[in-house]
Structure formats: structure tokens, C-alpha cells
Amino acid sequence: MRAVLVVNPRATATTAAGRDVLARALASQLKLDVVETDYRGHALVAAAQAREEGVDLVVAHGGDGTVNEVVNGLLQNGPGGPALGVVPGGSANVFARALGLPRDPVEATHALLTAVTQGRSRSVGLGRVETSEGGRWFTFNAGMGWDADVVADVDRKRGKKASPALYARVALARYLRGERHEMSVEIPGQERLEGLRLVFVSNTDPWTYLGSRPVRLNPEASFEDGLGVFALRSLGPATVLRHVRQALSAKGVRAGRRLVHQDDVDTLLVSAKEPVKLQCDGDLIGEFDAVRFRGVAGAVTVIG
């Protein structure tokens, strides 16, 4: 089996020693090439090239951003192509944890090689955004509004370690600035929803992690179903605190007077009066006044 290992050497939990151990372990059972990324988008290019060359497996070793780029490279021309393997190397590793993979890179590598030997894989559904500039796949979440604004602010602080504490501080600072977006959502067969201040879309549960604690906006979301939608009509303090408490609880978000909450949605269109920032898997994509979200069943084959 031919495989390519795509490593982000700057990921939070990735080290040169760990990379070497991982590469040697994979090379013991696979015909392996290793690509170390050195610029944003490099993992996407490497995965797309692997597909063109007929590689059987592409392993992403890094954080969720690296996994997202590899997925977008593999699916640049649509579903099909090499299988995906994931060895966590970031701080959150939401996609890997949602798949039930070990968080420790050595344990995850052992699990991956065992799955290769046993021929074990699964088809995983993904989300996709379509904008005026093209499309982008996401593995666990996407959002317009507050979360994307936070991603943009953290992105500007590139010299600092992207820790949960940094995200929390930036989220609070962004909230206190008082900027408010106005969006609408159209879901086929339903009445148009107006006056929304933020729209978050989940492809799985949890939506993300705050350190070791899961943030659960759509507890019923899964890779086997459609998308989960979480939107708020108000960002007043009482509304925000209520849903933050729910999201950090074991049961996740349940109900609220200002809440729009749906599961297993195939497609939705988000429109805004003014361009609003969009993030996918924690990466800023751009600013748009119209974005379509789609759930795509069985979009990628994951080894493990």
C-alpha cells in the first residue's frame, strides 16, 4: 500500500522526534513518502498531488487545520481517491476525538496500523460550504458571526500559542465590542428565519473542545446524519450565558426562547445584509453575504 504522511511541524503537539517515530512505524508496513508542510495550504497541495498519483492512503499528522487541508486536497475533485488516516498533533484535535481515535500520537499510530492490517475503514460524512469564491469542505464545524470573528482575531495573534485561554479571552473581548451581525437562514420546506445574530453548523458532536471539556451545541449531530444548526436571535448577556452553560454541560444545548436548533439538515442557505466572516474547522475562509452549507454523506473513507 502506498501512503503519504503529511506533517505540520508547527502543530502544538508535534515534535521532530515524534514525527520520526511515526514515520518509521508507518514505513514498516507501508510504502511511505513524508511531506513536511512549510506554508498555509501546503497540506492541501500535498494531498491533491497524492490523489493525482494514485496513492492509497494519506495520513495527516497535525491539528484540525492540517486535517482540514488534507481533506480538501483529497476531495478537490469530489469524493473518491485515497483513504484518510489521522494521527493527532494539535491542541484540540476535534475531528480525531469525534472519530474515537487515541489522543496520544504513538497510540493513534498503532491503531492506524492495526486498522490497515485488518482492512478496517469507515465512510464519514462531511460538511461543505459553497460561496461566491468556490467551495470548502469541513470535518466538524463551520460558523458565521461571533466564532469566525474570534478565529480572525486569534489568527492575527500568530506569535502567541493558540490555547483555550487565548480563545476565551478573545471571545470575551470580541463580545464586549458589541458588534452585531444580522443574518437569515433558509432551509428547504421551512419558513425563512430572520434576524439571526450568529449561525453555527455542526457536522458531529461535540462542536469543539474548551481544553478537555466538550462544547456541545448539537448533541445529536453525527458523521452519519445531516448537519446540525445552532443559531441565536439575540446576543444579550442572559441569552449568551444560558447557552454557554448548556453547551458546557453533559447534555449540551437543549432549548431557549432566542434559539434556533435543528438536527439532520441536508442543506441551508445563510444570507446577510453585509458580508460576515466564515470559518471552517477553525480556519478563516473569508467574508460573504451568502453561504450555502451542505451535508455530504460518505464523503471520505477513514482508516481506523
Which string of DSSP letters, residue by residue, matches 188-225? TTSPPEEEESEEEEESSS-SEEETTEEE-S-TT--TTS
Counts for the chain of helices (H) and strands (E), in that order: 8, 16
Query: Mean pLDDT, to the nearest integer, of 65-75?
Result: 97
Residue-number span of the structural domain to which 288 is assigned: 131-303
Please tell me whether residues 161 and 261 are part of one structural domain.
Answer: yes
Query: Is a pLDDT exceeding 80 seen at residue 62?
Result: yes
147 and 73 housed in the same domain: no
Whether residues 113 and 156 share a domain: the answer is no
Q: Assess if residue 151 is contained within a domain.
A: yes
Task: Tell me, yes or no, whether 207 lies in a domain.
Answer: yes
Whether residues 289 and 163 share a domain: the answer is yes
DSSP 45-67: HHHHHHHHTT-SEEEEEE-HHHH
Chosen domain end from 119, 147, 182: 119
- Is the model's pLDDT at 295 over the cut of 60? yes
- The confidence score (pLDDT) of residue 12 equals 74
**Which amino acid appears at position 147 of this protein?**
D
The secondary element (H helix, E strand) that includes residue 231 is strand 227-232
The total of structural domains in the chain comes to 2
- Among 142, 137, 150, smallest CA distance to 229 is for 142
Q: Are residues 109 and 139 in the same domain?
A: no
- Grid coordinates in use for 209? 473542545
Q: Is 104 helix (H, G, I), strand (E, B) or coil?
A: coil
Is the pLDDT reported for residue 186 higher than 90? yes
Residues 219 and 258 in one domain: yes
Residue 71: inside a domain = yes
Residue among 209, 145, 206, 142 at smallest CA distance from 175: 145
Same structural domain for residues 166 and 93? Answer: no
- What are 3-55's pLDDT values in tens digits? 999 999 888 777 787 788 889 999 999 999 999 999 999 999 999 999 999 99
Q: Is residue 125 included in any domain, yes or no?
A: no
Q: In the structure grid, which three cell numbers stand for residue 82, read together?
A: 485515497
Shared domain for 288 and 141, answered yes or no, is: yes
31 within some domain: yes
Are 112 and 144 part of one and the same domain?
A: no
Is 59 in the same domain as 87?
yes
Cα separation values, 141 from 9, 137, 157, 217, Å: 24, 10, 22, 10
**What is the C-alpha separation between 141 and 152, in angstroms, rounded?**
16
Max Cα distance, the chain (Å): 57
Specify the residue for cell string 451542505.
294
The pTM of this model reads 0.93
pLDDT at 22: 87
3-class SS at 256?
Answer: coil
pLDDT (tens digit per residue) in 101-141: 999 998 999 999 999 999 999 999 999 999 999 999 999 99
